[in-house]
Amino acid sequence: MKDLNAVEILIVEDNPHDAELTLRALRNNNLANNVFIAEDGAEALDFFFCRGRFADRSINNPPKVVLLDLKLPKINGLEVLKAVKEDPRTCNIPIVVVTSSRQEPDIKEAYALGVNSYVVKPVDFDQFLNAMSSLGLYWLLINEPIK
Amino acid sequence: MRAIHSFTKILSEEYGKKLDEEGNRICGIIKSNTIQMGELIDDLLNFSRLGKSLMHESLIDMNSLVRSVFKSQTETDGKSRVKVKIDHLEDCPGDQALLEMVWNNLISNAIKYSSRNSSPEISIWSSATKKSVTYFISDNGVGFDMVYKDKLFGVFQRLHTTKEFEGNGVGLAIVKRIINRHGGEVYAEAETHKGATFSFSIPLK
C-alpha cells in the first residue's frame, strides 16, 4: 500500500471503468503518481477523517484536490460534500464534483454546500481527457492551497 | 447500443488475434458496458411505464408464480447450488405481470447477494391477516447496514460498488413502485454479512 499521507488527488468513484479513464487523463500529464481511489462515499469519509483502514493517515496531510462523483453506493456525493465542508478540519480541502449529472438541483445543492467547482463529464473522450487534465493541472500546479 | 455491442464483438472475434492483451481487455470493457447500459435502459423504461400502465387485476396463484420465477432464474444462471425453501404461499389479488416483475427482482437480488456464501439459502413464505397478505424472502448473503435502509428503494441507490456486485440501482425502486400501486408497502431488514429479509404487503379487497 502506498503512502496515504502523500495522496495529492483523491478520486471518489465507484465505477472502475470511469476511474480508469480519469487515471488515464491524469497519467497523460504525469499527474497520476499520488492518486487514491475511494469506491464509495463511506470509504471516502473514512479517508477524509482518517478512520477505519485509514486510521494511520494524518488529517493534516489533505489531498490537493478531490474529484467527487455524485452517484455513489451507501453515502452519495452530496452527503460526502456536506460532511467534509461542515467540519473545520476538512472544510478547506478543494472538492470538485465530477459527474454526468447536469441536473439543476444537484448543481445548486453542490454550490450551496460549498463545492469548489462543478464539472459535467463530457461524453466525447477527447473533451473528457482535456477537461480532466486541465482540472489536474489547475489544482495541482496553479492553485495555491492553505499551508 | 446493439450496434456498438455487435461490432465490438466482431472486432474481438475476427481481429482478436491481431490485438494484444490490452486491446482485447478494452474490447471486453466495451462489451460489458454496452450490456449494462442496455439493462439500464430497459429497467428505466420499465420504471417509467409503471407510473402509467393500466393494472390488470386477478387472483394470483403465488405458489406457481414464485416457483416459475425461481426456476427460470436458476436455470439461466446455472446457480442451482442455491438451496431454496418455499412455504405454501397465500394467494392475493393483483397484476400478474407486475407481481412477476417484483419476484424477478427480489429473487435475483437474493441469489446475487448470497452468491458469495459457500452454501447460499433462500426462504420464501407468507402470512395473512384479514386485511392483507405479506410475503417474505430472506437470504443468508452479505446483507447491509440498516443505517442505509431508507435509501434501498430509491432510484439509482446502491449499497454495493459495481466491483462487489453488479447492478444499476433500479430494481428495488421498481419493486416499491409496483407494490405501492397495489396499495401495499415494502420493508427490508438486514444485518451486514448475516443476510437480508425483504417483504411486501398486498391489501385484500
Chain A CB contacts of B172 below 8 Å: none
CA distance B152 to chain A (A): 9
* pTM (whole model) above 0.95: no
How many pairs of residues across A and B have Cβ atoms under 8 Å apart? 23
Nearest residue of A to residue B157, measured between CA atoms: A73
Chain B CB contacts of A40 below 8 Å: 161
In this prediction, residue B60 carries a pLDDT of: 96
pLDDT in tens, B11-39: 999 999 999 999 999 999 999 999 999 99
In this prediction, residue A147 carries a pLDDT of: 76
Is the Cα torsion angle A80, A85, A88, A92 positive or negative in sign?
Answer: positive
Q: Does A40 touch chain B (CB under 8 A)?
A: yes
- What is the pLDDT averaged over residues B62-87? 86
Q: Given B29, B33, B160, which is nearest A73 (Cβ)?
A: B160
In this prediction, residue B81 carries a pLDDT of: 82
In this prediction, residue B79 carries a pLDDT of: 53
Phi, psi for residue B63 in degrees, rounded to 5: -60, -50
Q: Does B150 touch chain A (CB under 8 A)?
A: no
* Band of residue B2 on the pLDDT scale cut at 50, 70, 90: confident
pLDDT in tens, B123-161: 999 999 999 999 999 999 999 999 999 899 998 889 998
Arithmetic mean of pLDDT over chain B: 92
Chain A CB contacts of B145 below 8 Å: 74
Q: Given an 8 Å threshold on Cβ–Cβ distance, is A14 in contact with B29?
A: no
- Distance from C-alpha of B50 to C-alpha of A1, rounded to nearest angstrom: 47
pLDDT in tens, B78-116: 556 889 999 999 999 999 999 999 999 999 999 999 999
In this prediction, residue B190 carries a pLDDT of: 95
Helix (H) or strand (E) holding B179: helix B171-181
In this prediction, residue A1 carries a pLDDT of: 47
Residue pointed to by grid coordinates 391477516: B129
Q: Which of A74-88, B65-79, B149-163, B187-201 has the lowest mean pLDDT?
A: B65-79
Q: Does A73 touch chain B (CB under 8 A)?
A: yes
Q: Does A103 touch chain B (CB under 8 A)?
A: no
Going through chain A in order, the beta strands assigned E by DSSP cover 9-12, 35-38, 65-68, 95-99, 117-120
Chain A CB contacts of B159 below 8 Å: 73-74
Kind of pairing between the strands at A117-120 and B57-60: unpaired
Chain B CB contacts of A74 below 8 Å: 145, 148, 151, 158-159
